Structure 1
C-alpha cells in the first residue's frame, strides 16, 4: 500500500513540474503567485519546484521584478530531439518555400506523434496576407480533423489505420468535423486515390486545407505538408492546379529523402 501511495505522489509531482513549465511557456514572465494559480498548486510547492528548475538551468528569476521565466535550455532539448529529422526538415523546407512563394498562403509541416495520436507542427511558412490561418510550432491537432493528419494516415497499413482510428475520440472543433469511423475511412480511401488530403472547415471554421504525405526511402509517410486558405480567398477554379502543384512538391521532397516511384507514387 505504501509503495502505491509513493507512486501516486511521484506522478502528482511530475504533473506539477510540467504544469509549471507549461505556465511559463504560455506567459514568458510570471510572478510566483501567477505560476501557482496557473499550475493549480500552492505557492510553497511552486516555489520549491522553481528553485529546483533554476538549479538545473531551465528557469531564471529576475531579481528586480521577482518574476520567473524559462531559459533556452528547453529549446536546446527540443532542437537536439529533432536532429535526427534534419534531412526531413531540409527536404521539406525547399518545397515549402516554393509553395509559399507561389501562393502566399500558410504552409505547414506536420509529423505523427505516436504517443497521443496527434499531428505535431514542426515547420511552417506564414501567409503573406494579414487575414490567414495562424499556426504555432509544437502545436498538436487531432488526426481525424486535419488535412495533415489524414495525409499521415491514408498511406499507412490498413491494420495500422484501423488501430489508430479505434483510439480516436473524434473531438469536434469545427462545423464539418468528421465524427464517424466509417466516414473517416471513406475519406482516407478518397485521399489515397486522388493523392492528397483535404478538409473544409473540419478543424477550424472558415479554413480550407490541402495536404500531401512526404515519404522516406522505404516508402513510409514520415511527414505531411499542407497549405491553408481562408475560404473567402480560395478560388475553386484553381483547385486542380493547386492540387497538382502540392502533389508534385510533395513528391519532390520525397525524392530528396530517397523515395523511389517504384514503391508507389504518392
Structure 2
C-alpha cells in the first residue's frame, strides 16, 4: 500500500517545488497563469496554493487572485546557512581545545525537547564518550541542553517541557522541571553549564553558549571527560576555553556582547 502511494507523493512534491520556482521568477501570479505554466488544473493549483498559504510560504495579494512568496523560505534557508557557518567556525575552535585537553568536544543545538549533535571531535584517549554526529540526547540531563535552556524564560521552559517525562538515566539525573529551572538559574548567572554524571555514569560534561547576531543562544559547545580523568581544580580552565571559543564563534556571526568570561 505504501509503495503504491509513493509516485503520487513524489508528484505532489514536484508540483509544490514547481509552484515555488514559478513564484520565485515572477513577483506575483494568478492561478490561471500559474496552472497553465505548470500544466496543472486550476483546482489542483488552488489546492496546493491554499495549503502553502496556510503553512506561511505563500500569501495572497489583498483581494486579488494573485499569489506571491513570503519570506519564510528565506528564513528556513537562513537557518540552514547559519548552522553550516557555525560548524565550520566551531571546528577551528574545537580543534584548538582538543589539542589543549585531548578530550571529546561536541557542538549541539536544540531540536524540540532534545539536543542534536552537529559536530564532534573525538578524544585521543581509549576511554571516551560514545556519541556521533546526529545523535540526540535529552535537554534536561546534558550540559549543552542546560545552556540552550538558559536562553529561554522560565515560562518558555515550562511550556516547552510541559509534556516531557523526566527519565532517570542515572541516580543524579534531575527529576522534574522545578529542579531543572533551579539549575538553569545557576547557568544564567555563571554562564556555563555542567552535567555531573546526569546522562551517563562516570562522565562529566561542561558547556558554554554560542549566540547569533540577535543575541539568541542557538548552540552549545561542550567538553566531555570521564570522571577518572576529571580534576575539579581545572574546571575554571575548561570553562575559560569553552567561553573563549563561544565568544569567538559568536563574534564571527555578528554578536559582540558575549557575557564576562570566567578567568582560568
TM bucket, shorter chain: 0.5 to 0.7
- After superposition, the Cα gap between the structure-2 partners of 1:264 and 1:233, relative to the gap in structure 1 and judged at 3 Å, is closer
Q: 1:167-207 CA distances to partner (integer Å, 9 max, x unpaired)?
A: 32111112211012211101001011111000111000100
Match of 2:218 in 1: 222
Which residue in 1 is equivalent to 2:233? Answer: 237
Cα distance, 1:242 vs. partner?
1.3
Counterparts of 1:127 and 1:157, CA distance in 2: 34
* Residue of structure 2 in register with 1:108 after alignment: 106
Aligned position for 2:134: 138
Q: Is the 8 A contact 1:156 1:220 kept in 2?
A: no
Find the counterpart in structure 1 of residue 153 from structure 2: 157
How much has 1:249 moved relative to structure 2? 1.3
Residue 248, structure 1, aligned to residue 244, structure 2: yes
Question: Over aligned residues, Cα RMSD in angstroms?
Answer: 2.1
Contact 2:108-2:144 at 8 Å conserved across structures: yes
1:167 maps to which of 163, 170, 174: 163
Q: Structure 1 residues 225-234 or 132-141, which shifts more?
A: 132-141
Residues 10-64 of structure 1, C-alpha deviations (whole Å, 9 max, x = no match): 7xx99xxxxxxxxxxxxxxxxxxxxxxxxxxxxxxxxxxxxxxxxxxxxxxxxxx
Q: Who is 2:53 aligned against?
A: none
| Structure 1: gaps spanning 5 or more residues | 1-8, 15-80
Q: Would you say 1:124 and 2:120 are equivalent positions?
A: yes
In the alignment of these two chains, the number of paired residues is: 187
Give the Cα–Cα distance (whole angstroms) in 2 for the partners of residues 199 and 242 of structure 1: 14
Aligned to 1:90: 88
Decide which structure has the larger Cα Rg and report it.
Answer: 2
- Contact 1:154-1:188 at 8 Å conserved across structures: yes
The alpha-carbon deviation at position 130 of structure 1 amounts to 0.4
1:194 aligns with 2:186: no
In the alignment, structure 2 segments of 5+ residues that lack a partner are: 7-78
Q: Residue deviations 1:91-142, cap 9 Å, x none?
A: 211211111111100000111113xx10001100000100011211111111
Dislocated runs of 4+, deviation >3 Å:
81-84, 263-266
Q: Shift of residue 211 of structure 1?
A: 0.5
Aligned with 2:161: secondary structure? helix
